Amino acid sequence: MQSKQSSVFSLALIVAALGYFVDIYDLLLFNIVREPSILSLGGTDKEMVAISTHIINWQMIGLLLGGVIWGIMGDKKGRLSVLFGSILLYSIANFLTAYVSTVDQYAWARFTAGIGLAGELGAGITLVSELMPKEKRGVGTSLVAGIGLFGAVFAYYTFQFSHDWRLCYKIGGGLGVVLLLLRISVAESGMFNQVKTQNMQRGNFLKFFTNATRFRKYILAILIGLPTWFVIGVLVNLSNRFATALYGENKIDSGKAIMFAYAAIAIGDIAIGFVSQYFKSRKKALYLFYGLTIVMGICFFSALNNSDTSMYLICTMLGFSTGFWAIFVTMGAEQFGTNLRATAATTIPNMVRGSLPLINLLFKDFFIESQKLSIVKSAIVTGTIVMIVTLIAAYFTEETFHKDLNYVEE
């Protein structure tokens, strides 16, 4: 088996980070061009929340489905096979999105892109985790996520300079093609190559559900990541609507709020790797960032959020406080053996992304429409439920900082 990388920076890490950069560019582009793209397809401002929720839900369902497909392939065919296949699919889907003419076509194109985008992060995190020594892998995977998350900033400024949402999708497709060429020089994980020679079952998704201990670990690994997509998918994504409800007339650009939030998430993701190293604990680092999320969530709905400046600032700080994506995905990879690791690391973050339709159902359909709550009260109740569930899950989650990954699931 190949030796572990002694340096934090390696070719695999750099390429994985660039891959996640393109992944985030494509994943967040819809949120950034949401309003102009929907209006150009015949949608109205009154229908904006309903139509945008419909499209983002389809994208997230694609991520959920793709997570299972690519996760299984990652353990059966290899980490690199997933990276090549997923990039090819979402690049084609982005080119197709540039030519949609109806809302339904838009939703189907984003669904297809979602399936492709699902494979990028999990396979990259798995590959980097297995190539690095355990005392450095937390920093390594945090750097992958931290660098990659700046893709949202690039997406925002690409639209600001071009003012052409169709061109932005074409650029996303082009970036994917360039990334395919970079992947050629990256080596496969030695742990996977070793397991591949053994006569054992790999990538069996059902194994997460046939053993009580594995099932418990799998569900907990999903639940600890929920706050990220509540913050981004609800609070920041609809920041202009919340601004109207909280303090009236405003000029909030939700795409700009997303850009600020993701720049801060990137910094948070890098920071949490070093915090985890300092504490020698993944869980203590998570608790710290959960606390920051709760504080900034309270600020979001308080009298402090009374202007466009404060809204952008709070969205930025909310982004930083939810910068635990890399550690959360790393913990998912560390929970399971080599023959199920890619399946876990790929499906877990996409299960969290796929939870956004359920969060939207709770937020929009149950509380706002059924219970007739205001958008603010609905978000407060939904956010409280999400944080309670997450904190309970984190308490029961295994600490994995010192865990040796060279083992298999029986």
Q: Is 163 left (phi over 0), alpha (psi -120 to 50) or beta?
A: left
Instruction: Name the CATH code of domain 11-396 (choices 2.60.40.10, 1.10.490.130, 1.20.1250.20, 1.20.1090.10).
Output: 1.20.1250.20
* pLDDT by residue, tens only, the chain of 410 residues: 444 444 455 677 777 788 888 888 988 899 889 889 999 998 888 888 789 888 988 998 898 898 888 888 877 776 667 777 888 898 999 999 999 999 999 999 999 999 998 877 776 777 777 777 766 767 777 788 778 878 888 999 999 999 999 999 999 999 988 887 876 666 444 454 555 556 656 657 888 888 899 999 999 999 999 999 899 989 998 999 899 999 999 999 988 998 899 889 989 988 988 898 889 899 999 999 999 999 999 999 999 999 999 999 999 999 999 999 878 888 888 888 877 887 888 888 888 887 888 898 888 777 666 667 788 988 999 999 999 999 999 999 999 887 777 777 67
Cα separation values, 401 from 132, 305, 344, Å:
13, 37, 17
Cβ atoms of 390 and 227 closer than 8 Å: yes
Instruction: State the amino acid at position 123 in one-letter form.
Output: A
User: What pLDDT sits at residue 22?
Assistant: 87
Q: Which residue from 250, 257, 255, 260 is spatially nearest to 306, judged by alpha carbons?
A: 250
What's 249's DSSP letter? S
pLDDT score for 218: 92
CB neighbours of residue 77 within 10 Å = 18
Q: Among 351, 389, 382, 385, which Cα is nearest to 364's?
A: 382
**Counting beta carbons within 10 angstroms of the beta carbon of residue 366, is it exposed (0 to 12), middle (13 to 18) or buried (19 or more)?**
middle
| Cα pseudo-dihedral 99, 102, 108, 114, rounded to 10 | 60
**From CA 335, how far away is CA 287, in angstroms rounded?**
18
Which structure tokens are listed for 95?
């080119």
